[in-house]
Amino acid sequence: MTDRNAAIINKIKGLLSIANDQKNDEESQSAFILAQKLMMKHDISSSEVEEQSNSQSLEDGQVTVHKKLFWWERKLAQVISENFRVKFYYNNKLFDNSSQRKRAIMFLGFQNDVALAKEMYLLAYEALVFYSNRYVEDHYEENQKRSRVHRITNGVKNSYMRGFLQGLERKFEEQVKEMQQEYGLMVLVPIEVVEEYDNRFGGKKGISFKLPPVEEALAFEKGFIEGNRIDYTKSTIDEDIVM
pLDDT tens profile 145-175 = 555 555 677 888 999 999 999 988 888 888 7
Edge-to-edge strand ranges of the sheet holding 87-94:
58-62, 101-110, 87-94
What does the radius of gyration of the chain's CA atoms come to, in whole angstroms?
Answer: 19
Query: SS3 of 58, please?
Result: strand
**Backbone phi and psi for residue 103, each to the nearest 5 degrees, phi listed first:** -125, 145
Average pLDDT of the chain to the nearest whole number: 76
Q: How many angstroms separate the CA atoms of 126 and 63, rounded?
A: 13
pLDDT at 106: 96
pLDDT tens profile 26-37 = 666 667 777 777
Show contacts of 213-216: CB within 8 Å, 24+ apart: 214/159, 214/162, 214/163, 215/155, 215/156, 215/158, 215/159, 216/155, 216/156, 216/159, 216/160
Query: SS3 of 234, please?
Result: helix
pLDDT at 37: 76
* Planar angle of CA 79, 87, 57, nearest 5 degrees: 135
Q: How many angstroms separate the CA atoms of 99 and 238, rounded?
A: 52
Extract the runs of DSSP E, i.e. beta strands, from the chain: 58-62, 87-94, 101-110
Work out the pLDDT band at 14, boundaries 50, 70, 90.
low
Q: Per-residue pLDDT averaged across 203-226, rounded? A: 79
Is the model's pLDDT at 205 over the cut of 90? no
What pTM value is reported for the model? 0.76
Is the model's pLDDT at 61 over the cut of 90? yes
Q: How many angstroms separate the CA atoms of 229 and 188, rounded?
A: 23
**Backbone phi and psi for residue 214, each to the nearest 5 degrees, phi listed first:** -85, 105
From the list 83, 65, 61, 63, the residue with the least C-alpha distance to 165 is: 83
pLDDT at 51: 44
- CB contact at 8 A, 132 and 157: yes
Q: Which residues of 2-28 are buried (b: 16+ CB within 10 A; e: fewer)?
A: eebbebbbebbeebbeebbeeeebebb
DSSP state of 67: B
